[in-house]
């Protein structure tokens, strides 16, 4: 159905200026979850409450997965931050009946809240379980409503949402660079999670720029794709623990 | 002595003119179930889908189980009416209308579920292809868009298939009834007269529709199965889903038909029209499909087990040995281990026997749909994201009200339309004009039992 | 519309009556198109009318299917190209999946065409009063002539009775 995609290579017909990608260094991740908190703050993600979270409805666009390896006294803990992989061959895109989930020219998987009617097909199709549904109307108890980010819309009940690589920051960065009549610098645009990561385990940038940090790291020998054998061609790479 | 046509008409028209207290009680019970469902639905609209038991990662559970279940049940009519009509199996005559009615009603119930299970149901019309001011059309790559086209085509086809043979019966009632009935049935009968030309056109139209509706029915449930098979979920991405689901649909459809026939036979006193022969023949079909269902299930599971993929085996073991094992083994028992002996042994293949087998099969097939959806969704690829599911009272009420709606529609239908196509039955009772016709009638009669047309007293 | 008709108890005698009327019709001034047969069930193998041999319904249904297919093709490709969305390099018009839509609309076209053809060729709906008798629902066959010329009445009655009519009546029923 779709022409063959080579990872890292873009078809030029759409004149895509950037190819956003993220690299996660699993070795550096300490599991502090500052990225999770920052993401909640930046993207107006509601906290669902302990009862709903126990029911499995917590909405963490980025989550830090925790895996135990080995037995006591040699038990090791491995942290794996998982967010939307912005797959090139995303299984969530063809299945949305209203085009709420589609692929932008920048390599992002966009979720258009206004088009979403809540069939939840995309969430079933996502192998990474990174899509979250608003089962109820989100509520921010006063005065927390003052903390909402005006750059990001607030979603209502029945809408699917997920990590957007902080597309509002990407657009803001692109507009700033355009206004100042210059190219974007590598590392200028930082999603909230990348910005808040103190061990600098998360790196964000443009794969089309051969000199960017993400280009360099994604070619590293430690770089793997999460669930790469499924053929989703994710735009996020994981640097394995050595 | 052949039953006179007058007697046949009297028997089959009686339910339209007489009602018992039991009938009204049944209608009240069904209507209250439907009302409870409406209340549960409105509560869901008001509060959000959160009042259901869905969560991350189990985003579909009871809602889609019931959707696939009802679409599956709707395949009864197609098989009986269309395939048997094309195969010239004359024993189908008393059975076609009940079957076609099941199809239309089950399909209607199934078709409204996708509208109500979405997060923002008031925007469901966005799935309809119309030039909208938003500047986009529906995504035709999505299996849900295919569902829209397939289910609507099948619905229009089944309604036509049900309505067309009713026209001559409406004309009969028009000529027999007085008052408001005459007016209503007069309008519904479209001024039918009964000239040979009209009969010929009607029968040709039925023939064409029978040929057309079979591929549509096959495609409908295949497309419903592709709601699952088009995703990379462990044990969903299976190429066998299309045929598997169609087989399962016809299987559950025949079982539902047997149940409906048994109820009609008892409550409308149609013992002489719906004979043990019909149940026995349908029972043989049910047996075939039970074996076919087992074959498909076995083939799918053997291939999965042989491939030993890590995620697939997680789901596999969760159904065979783990959390879902009781439901899984119940399903195998209900769909195969219990029905096959009952249906295979001729002495057990009585009306009671086939009804018992059918009840088990209907429950078993509901379980099958549930076990396809929930175990796979609860055990996807990343173990940290695994989950579980438990239905809430809202979902249980909605499910019960689906059954209530089916019962209500059927009860109302049996009161306004004769449940057996009178003119088709009369054709079956005709003195055979060709030698071939009489052989066909005699061959279908069980030895020692009267032939269909020969209702000797 | 007036008519004279007779009721027969079995299709054989109805066929004889029909044939007799066809044969002697021109001499009585009765047009073949005015001979009407009304039954409550179809009778296979009897030739009450000469219109049942071939019907255009099958080719029409096929044509309707073709029309549906073309419409489905247009719908799928038109909707996908009229508002082209960025798909990240993936094709905007996808043939395999459009094929499913095209198939469904084809079948819908065939079904709707058959419905329409039936209604048109069977002359439905038509609520004008038509020749009929309540007895046909008890298994009798009706063979009659609409608007017979006055002089032919006696000859008509004789022909019908000779073929084995149970009764000969007039339509609309005359009050006794």
Q: Do A136 and B50 contact (CB within 8 A), yes or no?
A: yes
Give the pLDDT of residue B433: 59
Give the pLDDT of residue B2: 54
Contact C130 B191 (CB under 8 A): yes
Statement: residue C24 has pLDDT above 60: yes
How is chain A split into domains, by residue range?
Answer: 12-239
Query: What's the CA gap between B125 and A197, in Å, rounded?
Result: 43
Statement: residue B439 has pLDDT above 50: no
Judging contacts by C-beta atoms under 8 Å, the chain C residues touching residue A107 are 88
Query: What's the CA gap between C30 and C24, in Å, rounded?
Result: 8
Give the pLDDT of residue B442: 41
- In angstroms, the separation between the Cα of residue C28 and the nearest Cα of chain B is 23
On whether any CB of chain C is under 8 Å from the CB of B418, the answer is no
Judging contacts by C-beta atoms under 8 Å, the chain B residues touching residue A1 are 141
Statement: residue C126 has pLDDT above 70: yes
Q: How confident is the model at residue B457 (pLDDT cuts 50, 70, 90)?
A: very low
Mutation for testing the B interface, residue in A85, A98, A138, A226 having most B CBs under 10 Å:
A98
pLDDT tens-digit series, residues B55-70 = 989 999 999 999 999 9
Q: How large is the C-alpha radius of gyration of chain A?
A: 18
pLDDT tens-digit series, residues B80-113 = 789 888 988 888 888 889 999 999 999 999 999 9
Give the pLDDT of residue B333: 97
Give the pLDDT of residue C154: 84
Q: How confident is the model at residue C174 (pLDDT cuts 50, 70, 90)?
A: low
On whether any CB of chain A is under 8 Å from the CB of B118, the answer is yes
pLDDT tens-digit series, residues A151-181 = 999 999 999 999 999 999 999 998 998 899 8
- In angstroms, the separation between the Cα of residue C99 and the nearest Cα of chain A is 12
Give the pLDDT of residue B445: 41
Give the pLDDT of residue C122: 87
User: Which residues, including other chains, have CB under 8 Å from residue B414's CB and lie 6 or more apart?
Assistant: B15, B264, B268
On whether any CB of chain B is under 8 Å from the CB of C50, the answer is no
On whether any CB of chain A is under 8 Å from the CB of B197, the answer is no
On whether any CB of chain B is under 8 Å from the CB of C45, the answer is yes
Which residue of chain C has the CA closest to B151? C104
On whether any CB of chain C is under 8 Å from the CB of B190, the answer is yes
Query: What's the CA gap between C113 and C107, in Å, rounded?
Result: 10
Contact C79 B129 (CB under 8 A): yes
Which residue of chain C has the CA closest to B158? C111
Contact A3 C87 (CB under 8 A): no
Quote the distance between the C-alpha of residue C112 and its chain's center: 16
pLDDT tens-digit series, residues A32-82 = 999 999 999 999 999 998 999 999 999 999 999 999 988 988 998 889 999
Give the pLDDT of residue C175: 53
Q: Do B124 and A117 contact (CB within 8 A), yes or no?
A: yes
Judging contacts by C-beta atoms under 8 Å, the chain A residues touching residue B385 are 65, 128-129
Is residue B137, in this structure, part of any structural domain at all? no
Contact C119 B138 (CB under 8 A): no
Query: What's the CA gap between B386 and B314, in Å, rounded?
Result: 11
* ipTM score of complex: 0.90
pLDDT tens-digit series, residues B300-348 = 999 999 999 999 999 999 999 999 999 999 999 999 999 999 999 999 9
Chains touching C by CB (3 or more pairs below 8 Å) = A, B
On whether any CB of chain C is under 8 Å from the CB of A171, the answer is no
On whether any CB of chain C is under 8 Å from the CB of A1, the answer is yes
Query: What's the CA gap between B266 and A85, in Å, rounded?
Result: 60
Statement: residue B376 has pLDDT above 50: yes
Statement: residue B241 has pLDDT above 80: yes
Q: How confident is the model at residue B20 (pLDDT cuts 50, 70, 90)?
A: confident
Give the pLDDT of residue A13: 39
Give the residue-averaged pLDDT of B167-187.
Answer: 90
On whether any CB of chain C is under 8 Å from the CB of A115, the answer is no
On whether any CB of chain B is under 8 Å from the CB of C9, the answer is no
Which of these, B399, B288, B441, lies nearest to B44 by C-alpha position? B399
CB pairs A-B closer than 8 Å: 152
On whether any CB of chain A is under 8 Å from the CB of B307, the answer is no
Give the pLDDT of residue B64: 96
pLDDT above 70 covers a percentage of chain B that reads 93
Strand pairing category for C3-8 and C167-171: antiparallel
Average pLDDT for chain C: 85
By Cβ distance, the residue of B142, B145, B377 closest to A124 is B377
Mutation for testing the C interface, residue in A4, A101, A105, A114 having most C CBs under 10 Å:
A105
Q: Do B228 and B372 contact (CB within 8 A), yes or no?
A: yes
Tokens of B236: 């969903």
Tokens of A52: 């709903």
Judging contacts by C-beta atoms under 8 Å, the chain C residues touching residue A88 are 88
Give the pLDDT of residue B149: 94
Strand pairing category for A223-224 and C3-8: unpaired
By Cβ distance, the residue of A1, A96, A227 closest to B142 is A96
Q: How confident is the model at residue B79 (pLDDT cuts 50, 70, 90)?
A: confident
Q: How confident is the model at residue A14 (pLDDT cuts 50, 70, 90)?
A: very low
On whether any CB of chain A is under 8 Å from the CB of B233, the answer is yes
- In angstroms, the separation between the Cα of residue A105 and the nearest Cα of chain C is 5
Give the pLDDT of residue C150: 80
Q: State the total domains in chain B.
A: 1
Give the residue-averaged pLDDT of B419-442.
Answer: 67
Is residue B443, in this structure, part of any structural domain at all? no
Is residue B452, in this structure, part of any structural domain at all? no
Judging contacts by C-beta atoms under 8 Å, the chain C residues touching residue A93 are 87
Q: How confident is the model at residue B22 (pLDDT cuts 50, 70, 90)?
A: confident
Architecture of domain C3-51+126-171: 2-Layer Sandwich (3.30)
Give the pLDDT of residue A11: 42
On whether any CB of chain C is under 8 Å from the CB of B202, the answer is yes
Judging contacts by C-beta atoms under 8 Å, the chain C residues touching residue B423 are 40-42
- In angstroms, the separation between the Cα of residue C71 and the nearest Cα of chain B is 13
Chains touching B by CB (3 or more pairs below 8 Å) = A, C
Q: How confident is the model at residue C52 (pLDDT cuts 50, 70, 90)?
A: low
- In angstroms, the separation between the Cα of residue B229 and the nearest Cα of chain C is 14
Q: Just give the CATH number of A12-239.
A: 3.30.70.20
Which of these, B100, B14, B23, lies nearest to B407 by C-alpha position? B23
Statement: residue B219 has pLDDT above 70: yes
Give the pLDDT of residue B435: 37
Contact C44 B200 (CB under 8 A): no
Contact A104 C86 (CB under 8 A): yes
Q: Which residues of C24-58 are buried (b: 16+ CB within 10 A; e: fewer)?
A: ebeebebeeebbbbbbbbbbeebebbeebeebebe
- In angstroms, the separation between the Cα of residue B199 and the nearest Cα of chain C is 6
How is chain C split into domains, by residue range?
Answer: 3-51+126-171, 57-121
Query: What's the CA gap between C30 and A132, in Å, rounded?
Result: 80
Is residue B448, in this structure, part of any structural domain at all? no
Contact B198 C126 (CB under 8 A): no
CB pairs B-C closer than 8 Å: 183
Indicate the SS3 state at residue A174: helix
Give the residue-averaged pLDDT of A187-212.
Answer: 94
Contact A63 B139 (CB under 8 A): no
Contact A56 B387 (CB under 8 A): yes
Query: What's the CA gap between C96 and C79, in Å, rounded?
Result: 15
Give the pLDDT of residue A153: 93
Is residue B136, in this structure, part of any structural domain at all? no
Statement: residue B448 has pLDDT above 50: no
Give the pLDDT of residue C22: 85
- In angstroms, the separation between the Cα of residue C53 and the nearest Cα of chain B is 9
Statement: residue B368 has pLDDT above 90: yes
Is residue B446, in this structure, part of any structural domain at all? no
Judging contacts by C-beta atoms under 8 Å, the chain A residues touching residue C97 are 1, 94
On whether any CB of chain C is under 8 Å from the CB of B383, the answer is no
Q: How confident is the model at residue C89 (pLDDT cuts 50, 70, 90)?
A: low
Judging contacts by C-beta atoms under 8 Å, the chain A residues touching residue C87 are 93, 102-103
Contact C58 B204 (CB under 8 A): yes
In residues, how long is chain C? 176
Domain residues for the domain of B298 are 5-129+142-430
Statement: residue B455 has pLDDT above 50: no
Average pLDDT for chain A: 90
Statement: residue C156 has pLDDT above 50: yes
Name the H helices within chain C: 11-28, 57-82, 95-121, 153-163
Contact C61 B153 (CB under 8 A): no
Q: What CATH number does the domain containing B298 carry?
A: 1.20.1630.10
Is residue B454, in this structure, part of any structural domain at all? no
Give the pLDDT of residue B436: 39
């Amino acid at each position: 159905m779709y022409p063959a995609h080579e990872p890292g290579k873009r078809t030029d017909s759409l004149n895509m200026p950037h190819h956003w990608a993220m690299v996660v260094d699993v070795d550096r991740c300490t599991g502090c979850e500052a990225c999770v908190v920052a993401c909640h703050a930046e993207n107006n993600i509601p906290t669902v409450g302990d009862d709903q979270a126990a029911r499995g409805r917590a909405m963490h666009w980025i989550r830090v997965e925790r895996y135990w390896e080995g037995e006591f006294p040699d038990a090791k803990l491995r942290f794996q931050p998982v967010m939307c992989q912005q797959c090139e061959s995303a299984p969530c895109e063809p299945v949305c009946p209203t085009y709420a989930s589609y692929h932008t020219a920048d390599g992002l998987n966009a979720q258009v809240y206004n088009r979403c009617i809540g069939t939840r097909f995309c969430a079933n199709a996502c192998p990474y379980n990174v899509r979250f549904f608003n089962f109820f109307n989100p509520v921010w108890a006063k005065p927390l409503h003052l903390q909402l980010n005006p750059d990001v819309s607030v979603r209502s009940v029945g809408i699917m949402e997920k990590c957007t690589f902080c597309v509002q920051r990407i657009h803001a960065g692109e507009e700033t660079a355009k206004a100042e009549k210059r190219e974007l610098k590598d590392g200028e645009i930082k999603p909230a999670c990348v910005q808040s990561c103190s061990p600098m385990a998360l790196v964000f940038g443009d794969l089309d720029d051969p000199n960017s940090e993400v280009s360099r790291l994604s070619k590293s020998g430690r770089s793997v794709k999460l669930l790469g054998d499924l053929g989703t061609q994710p735009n996020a790479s994981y640097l394995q623990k050595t | 002595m052949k039953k006179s046509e007058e007697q046949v008409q009297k028997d089959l028209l009686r339910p339209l003119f007489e009602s018992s207290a039991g009938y009204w009680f049944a209608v009240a019970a069904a209507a209250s179930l439907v009302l409870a469902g409406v209340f549960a639905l409105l509560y869901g609209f008001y509060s959000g889908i959160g009042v259901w038991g869905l969560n991350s990662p189990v985003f579909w559970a009871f809602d889609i189980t019931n959707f696939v279940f009802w679409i599956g049940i709707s395949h009864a009519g197609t098989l009986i009416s269309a395939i048997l009509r094309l195969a010239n199996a004359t024993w189908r005559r008393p059975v076609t209308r009940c079957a076609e009615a099941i199809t239309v009603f089950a399909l209607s119930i199934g078709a409204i579920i996708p509208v109500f299970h979405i997060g923002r149901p008031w925007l469901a019309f966005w799935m309809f292809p119309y030039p909208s001011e938003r500047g986009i059309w529906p995504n035709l790559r999505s299996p849900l868009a295919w569902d829209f086209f397939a289910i609507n085509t099948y619905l229009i086809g089944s309604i036509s298939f049900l309505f067309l043979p009713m026209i001559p019966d409406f004309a009969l009632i028009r000529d027999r009834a007085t008052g408001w009935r005459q007016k209503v049935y007069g309008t519904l009968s479209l001024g039918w007269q009964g000239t040979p030309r009209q009969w010929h056109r009607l029968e040709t139209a039925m023939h064409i529709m029978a040929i057309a509706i079979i591929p549509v029915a096959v495609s409908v449930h295949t497309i419903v199965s592709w709601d699952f098979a088009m995703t990379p979920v462990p044990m969903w991405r299976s190429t066998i889903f299309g045929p598997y689901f169609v087989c399962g649909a016809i299987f559950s459809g025949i079982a539902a038909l047997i149940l409906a026939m048994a109820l009609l036979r008892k409550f409308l006193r149609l013992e002489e029209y719906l004979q043990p022969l019909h149940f026995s023949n349908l029972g043989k079909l049910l047996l075939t499909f039970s074996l076919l269902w087992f074959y498909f299930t076995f083939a799918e599971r053997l291939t999965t087990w042989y491939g030993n993929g890590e995620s697939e085996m997680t789901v596999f073991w969760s159904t065979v040995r783990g959390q879902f094992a009781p439901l899984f083994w119940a399903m195998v028992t209900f769909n195969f281990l219990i029905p096959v002996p009952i249906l295979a042994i001729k002495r057990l293949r009585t009306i009671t026997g086939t009804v018992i087998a059918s009840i088990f099969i209907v429950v078993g097939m509901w379980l099958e749909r549930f076990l396809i959806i929930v175990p796979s969704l609860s055990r996807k690829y990343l173990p940290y994201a695994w989950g579980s599911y438990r239905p809430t009272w809202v979902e249980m009420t909605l499910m019960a009200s689906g059954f209530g709606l089916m019962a209500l529609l059927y009860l109302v239908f049996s009161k306004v339309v004769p449940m057996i196509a009178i003119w088709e039955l009369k054709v079956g009772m005709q003195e055979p004009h060709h030698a071939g016709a009489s052989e066909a009638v005699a061959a279908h009669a069980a030895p020692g039992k009267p032939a269909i047309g020969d209702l000797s007293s | 519309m007036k008519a004279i008709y007779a009721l027969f108890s079995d299709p054989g005698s109805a066929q004889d009556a029909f044939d007799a009327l066809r044969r002697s019709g021109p001499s009585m001034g009765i047009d073949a198109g005015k001979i009407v047969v009304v039954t409550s069930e179809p009778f296979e193998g009897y030739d009450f009318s000469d219109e049942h041999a071939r019907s255009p319904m099958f080719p029409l249904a096929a044509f309707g299917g073709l029309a549906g297919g073309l419409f489905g093709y247009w719908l799928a490709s038109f909707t996908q190209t009229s508002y082209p969305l960025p798909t990240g390099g993936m094709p905007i018009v996808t043939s395999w999946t459009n094929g499913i839509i095209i198939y469904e609309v084809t079948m819908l076209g065939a079904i709707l065409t058959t419905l329409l053809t039936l209604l048109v060729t069977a002359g439905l709906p038509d609520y004008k009063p038509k020749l009929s008798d309540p007895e046909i629902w008890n298994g009798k066959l009706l063979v009659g002539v609409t608007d017979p010329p006055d002089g032919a009445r006696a000859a008509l009655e004789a022909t019908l009775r000779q073929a084995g009519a149970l009764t000969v009546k007039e339509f609309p029923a005359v009050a006794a």
